[in-house]
Structure 1
Amino acid sequence: MSVKVNITSKGIQKVLKNYNEKQAIAEYIWNGFDANADTIKIDYTANALGLLESLTIADNGYGINFDRLQQKFDPFFESEKSLQIVAPKDTSKMHGRNGVGRLTFFTFAHNATWQTTYQSEEGFRYGEIQISTGGLNSYSHDFTAQPTSTGNTGTTVLFTNLRISEQEMQELVLPFLINEFCWFIELNKHKNYSVLVNGEVLDVSTNIKSLEEFNLFYPDSNVTFKIKYVHWKENLHKELSKYYFLAGGEEIYKDYTTLNKKSDDYFHSIYIDSDFFRDFDFKSFENEGQVAIFGAAKSSPEYRFLIKELTTYLKEKRKPFLKEYANRLIETYEQDEIFPAYADEKETHKQKPALVNLIKALYEIEPKLFSSLNTDQKKVQVRLINLLLQSNQEEELFELFNGMIELEVEEQEELASLLIGKNLVIS
């Protein structure tokens, strides 16, 4: 049976045009985890030319309920607006939500076939669903076939007429998947979540720069918070740096850390497990005077203690990282000839060290001061800093930077101490 709906196939591709093969394959893995799978299997083979001949992505989730098939496929076919993919905000339990990701296969294959088994009141049911790139606005299905195995639910997606090579899988797709799922697999480590590629576990730990576990104890109410801190080598794509609040290993809520989006590539995750969060009201604003009817809220002393301690902890962890990147910034500026040309060696020796040390210190206080600048803007900025520095106009420098970006009170104090106090010696 074939079902066709309103939006055209080209319209679907237009809306999903920002997806590439890496993101598309990731969406199929997310679909599996959304279906309560704990294991996703990616299997592929290549021909003598290095092009993929076969690619399957299988999960052991609850499968696709055919009685609700129309509800699952038709709604996001009806209009372009319904095709927009919205990332989860407060929890990681559902990523795909509307299932639009299952249409993105057009980025790397011509055909996709879903072989799925789910358990109904009458027992296990099996069937197939097919969609082709030329007809993304329609799908065909067959529910008359018998299940290939009994006693197991799950879905296997077979992709054919592939437009991706084995080299692209190994060098582009798999590294992308590591960064995409490392935080999620770490979040669900107690559940043994895994992604297998041709029978081998995808080693997401390769993206871990450092990991620490410790407890925070609030004595007034005998509340203990179990903390796991992970510093990632590379970015987590859309997930960014977040706190994950758990109770008994189950995620309750997630939120951005206080050092998220600082423009310094300091990618991190904090997993916090405590029974304190079982009846916690995460929707209340921290400064609200209201007290939650059941359980605690962000205004509670325990929560304020937790966030204060973790903020201090993260800042300490970030310091050596910023020093390392400040040195890299100077190396890049040297290579790109950003620093001003001095009249002679004597002037270079006299003026440049103070300028270099000031730039390092400024970066450690606020990396945003040096982000998103092109070469000409970097040269203007550095020459202006040098000019004001040599003219002993430190107060003007402070006002300049304090006006450029929004600094926290502590950062303003650091900047004022650095510039006006002339504390330019960097260890």
Structure 2
Amino acid sequence: MSNVNITSKGIQKILKKYNAEQAIAEYIWNGFDAKADTVFVDYTVDALGTLEFLEISDNGYGINFDNLRTKFEPFYESEKAIEISAPVHTSAMHGKNGVGRLTFFTFAFSAQWITTFQTAEGLKSGKIQMNAERLNNYEPVALTVAMSNHSGTTVTFKDVQLSSNQMDEEILPYLMAEFCWFLELNRSKNFRIIINGEVLDYTPNVSSRDELEFYEDKSGTVFRITFVQWKKALHRELSKYYFLNSTDNEVYKDFTTLNKKADDFFHSVYIQSDFFDDFNFKSSESDQQDQLFGKTKSSAEYKFLIKEISKYVLDRRKPYLRTFGERMIERFEEDGILPEYANEWEGKYKRAQLNEALLCLYGIEPKLFTNLNTDQKKTFVRFLDVLLESNEREQLLTIIDGIVDLEPEEREELAKLFSTTRLNRIAGTAKLVAERYRVYHLLKELVTKPRLNAVEVKHLQLAIERHCWILGEQYHLITPADARFEEALRSYTHILTEGDNAPGIDQPDELRDTDVFVSGQRILGNRVENILVEVKHPAINIGKEQYLQVDQYLDIILKQPEFGGDNMYWAFHLIGQQFDDSGFMEQKIAGNQNPADPWLALSLHDGRVKVYVKTWNAIFADFELRHKQISEKLKLERDRLINEWSTMAM
């Protein structure tokens, strides 16, 4: 019996960061570290779904009993837990001083190794046993007869504490992500992990694969590239370049430039070329002799390769990041992180500008948006929104450059974004204003006619339904009410025309038929905002009678179960050519005078129900005032932007 240098509990403490799937992976790595090209994992399950047998075997060079102490007696004297890590610059040896061999305690009570190894006298075999209660003791037995006609090791585990569900749902997926990059690295050598007779298929973890060549003109050097993007993280391996020589052997590996970017862009880049047959990766640029007589990182071919492959990987990453950035913005919207805007053009064009800036920043440095709580995200996003609208927007480059080390191309991309989004917003807003003026002139032409035919009434109806913003910016998101809802509202509209009389019109039905009634709705969380619009026949002047019609209509509506909820808000707009001579409407409006809420004639239930009475002239005057200010602001901003570009061009 031989002893490991530490107590059994001490060993378990050192290896406490290992779990069952990591431990099983270590036994597979032991096989590949022993130069195996195939590792077998075999297990059986009893009627209760528990593993009754688990065995991991390989065709590597075995465990030479002359070196047994270095394999089973790790030199760690400290009980500090071992950090689970991967070799940085080589894949040839993954294990760490044999400690992985002691991790079976995470899933089984005992382990037995039967190994066959080559010696000067030929093949020899030996057996080693350990159990979880005495990890500091191992029992080696040299066998008199070789147990196999080739070298290799078989580890059999007893009293396994795993279920078939754990194997299917946890361990096998873990092994796929753990070994996919390594199996891809050795694909030409047919490296395999065979589990219960089936080759472990890692392609479900492949998001995409590209094969391409880079050709360096001056030397004629060809670099054959295989790029693989993975769906899941590669555990400890991270994203790396793998440099292979003409015999497909790895000579070096190194991190790509896109590690730890918090963007889940997991990838491996395999670079094969005879250029690496006698390449010295350890040489520095100060080693002049190596530079003169050997291939090093200072070689023109290598610099060409790194420049081209870095650009390629960055280009592959951009659409991926845009997709993830768009999902991030969707989550921001769902979580209330994005700002709300006061009117339609702000909501449409400022939001587009903000979204584009967020996407651009996410593409440059996803870490800007990770590890922030909701309040911090709100602060960052709204600060960005304010700066985008200010004359200090260029300061964003300075701020971001202070947080993230921007490449020249990234800095140029941001500068271009901040300029083009301004121009796009100006052009888009100008287009929206022009469309509104078209609707404005159409409405003005219709409502000033002394009489409207049936077609014109329909046009007026549709124009108001689709463009409620004509009544105020607060209505720019209003949409037509649900058909059943509107039908219920319309069933009482006869009240709104009863008693109407106009000079020169003999038939009351004509007044009723040429009135326009529009209903719209906006839902904000639990709050339902309803807008009702009644447009009177041009011959009807609005006075007390029309006002009382609205009052009676609302009284009936609010008594209906489907309309009377506390979360239902109502804004009724009564519109006509002019008020009558009684002065009644002017008095009602003056009695509710509120600069922030003009033309309010009635407010009930703490402002939940409001009635507005307006003339078309007042509506059109308000429209012209609002849009004149917007047009002037657009012109000033456009002129300022042109002036900035002219200055930059000088």
Range class of TM-score, shorter chain: over 0.9
Can you list the C-alpha shifts for 1:158-202, whole angstroms capped at 9, x where unaligned?
111122211111111111111111111111111100001110010
Match of 1:368 in 2: 367
CA distance in 2: counterparts of 1:233 and 1:286, whole angstroms: 37
Matched, 1:36 2:73: no
2:128 aligns with: 129
1:26 shift after superposition: 0.7
Structure 2 CA distance for aligned equivalents of residues 424 and 7 of structure 1: 71
Counterpart CA distance in 2 for 1:152 and 1:424 is 73
* Structure 1 residue 155, shift from structure 2 partner: 0.6
The correspondence of residues 8-407 of structure 1 with structure 2, limited to 5 A, is: 8-76=7-75, 78-80=77-79, 87-144=86-143, 146-149=145-148, 151-248=149-246, 249-285=248-284, 291-292=290-291, 294-342=293-341, 348-349=347-348, 351-407=350-406
Cα gap change, 1:393/1:49 in structure 2, threshold over 3 Å: closer, same or farther?
farther
Work out the percentage of aligned pairs sharing the same amino acid. 54
Q: CA shift at 1:214, angstroms?
A: 1.8
Match of 2:429 in 1: none
Shift of 1:413: 2.2
Q: What is the DSSP-based 3-state SS (H/G/I as helix, E as strand, rest coil) of the residue aligned with 2:394?
A: helix
C-alpha deviation, 1:93, in angstroms: 0.7
Aligned length: 424
Contact 2:74 2:99 in 1 (8 A): no
Q: What is the DSSP-based 3-state SS (H/G/I as helix, E as strand, rest coil) of the residue aligned with 2:145? A: coil
Stretch moving more, 204-213 or 282-291: 282-291
Contact 1:288 1:299 in 2 (8 A): no
| Equivalent residues of 2:5, 2:75 under 8 A apart | no
Q: For the Cα contact (< 8 Å) 2:109–2:159, is it kept in 1? A: yes
Instruction: Name the amino acid aligned to 1:95.
Output: H
Q: Output the CA distance in 2 between the equivalents of 1:425 and 1:175.
A: 47
Aligned partner letter, 1:164:
L
Q: Decide which structure has greater helix share.
A: 2
Which string of whole-angstrom CA distances, capped at 9 and with x for unpartnered residues, describes residues 238-281 of structure 1? 11111111112111111111223322111111111111111112
CA shift digits 1:121-158 (9 cap, x unpaired): 22221121111111111111111353433x12111111
Q: CA deviation at 1:223?
A: 1.2
Give the structure with higher Rg (CA).
Answer: 2
Which amino acid in the other structure matches residue 254 of structure 2? D
SS in 2 for 1:209: strand
State the Cα RMSD in Å. Answer: 2.3
Q: Could you tell me how far 1:425 is from its partner in structure 2?
A: 6.6
- Structure 2 CA distance for aligned equivalents of residues 287 and 231 of structure 1: 35
Alignment gaps of 5+ in structure 2? 426-650
Cα gap change, 1:45 to 1:145, in 2 (>3 Å): farther
- Seen in structure 2, the aligned counterparts of structure 1 residues 165 and 304 have a Cα distance that, compared at 3 Å, is same
> Does the CA contact (< 8 Å) of 2:60 and 2:152 recur in 1?
yes
- Alpha-carbon contact 1:12-1:83 (below 8 Å) kept: no
Q: Which amino acid aligns with 2:53?
A: S
Describe the shift of the 1:424–1:310 C-alpha distance in structure 2 as closer, same or farther (beyond 3 A).
farther
Q: Are the structure 2 counterparts of residues 319 and 160 from structure 1 closer, same or farther at C-alpha, using a change threshold of 3 Å?
A: same
Structure 2 CA distance for partners of 1:182 and 1:358, relative to 1, 3 Å: same
**Unpaired runs of 5+ in structure 1?**
none
What amino acid is the match of 1:179?
A
The answer as to whether partners of 2:109 and 2:132 remain within 8 angstroms in 1 is yes
User: Residue 76 of structure 1: CA displacement?
Assistant: 3.4
Q: Distance in 1 between matches of 2:360 and 2:74?
A: 54
Q: How far off its partner does 1:68 sit?
A: 1.2
Q: Displacement, 1:336? A: 2.7
288 and 84 in structure 1: CA distance in 2 versus 1, 3 angstrom threshold: same
* Distance apart, 1:95 and its partner CA: 0.6
Q: Which has the higher contact order (CA 8 A, sep 6+)?
A: 1
Say if 2:241 and 2:254, in contact at 8 Å, map to a contact too: yes
Measure how far apart 1:291 and its partner are: 4.2
* Partner secondary structure for residue 95 of structure 1: coil
Deviates more, 1:154-163 or 1:332-341: 332-341
Query: What is the alpha-carbon distance in structure 1 between the residues aligned to residue 353 and residue 179 of structure 2?
Result: 43
**Rounded Cα–Cα distance in structure 1 between residues aligned with 2:86 and 2:255:** 14
Q: In structure 2, how many angstroms separate the alpha carbons of the residues matched to 1:20 and 1:82?
A: 13
Q: Aligned residue for 1:3?
A: 2
Between 1:340-349 and 1:163-172, the stretch displaced more is: 340-349
Structure 1 residues 291, 118: closer, same or farther in 2, change over 3 A? closer
Q: Secondary structure at the match of 2:259?
A: coil
Contact conserved, 2:17 with 2:83, CA < 8 A, in 1?
A: no
Q: Whole-Å Cα distance in 2 between the matches of residues 402 and 85 of structure 1?
A: 34
Which piece of structure 1 moves more, 338-347 or 351-360? 338-347
The one-letter code sitting in structure 1 at the alignment partner of 2:121 is E
Is the CA contact 2:177–2:205 (under 8 Å) kept in the aligned structure 1?
yes
Letter of the aligned partner of 1:247 in structure 2? N
| Residues 334/141 of structure 1: CA separation in 2 closer, same or farther (3 Å cut) | same
Residues 6, 79 of structure 1: 8 Å contact kept: no
Distance of aligned partners of 1:14 and 1:41 in 2 relative to their CA distance in 1, 3 Å threshold: same
Change (3 A) 1:220 1:353: closer
SS at match of 1:44: strand
1:330–1:356: 8 Å Cα contact kept in structure 2?
yes
Task: Show CA shifts across 1:369-402 (max 9, x none).
Answer: 2122233322221122122223343123222222
Give distance in 2, aligned partners of 1:23 and 1:137. 21
Q: What TM-score, normalized by structure 2, do the two folds share?
A: 0.62
* Deviation at residue 288 of structure 1 after TM alignment: 7.0
Aligned-partner Cα distance in 1 for 2:30–2:257: 30
One-letter identity of the residue aligned with 1:232: W
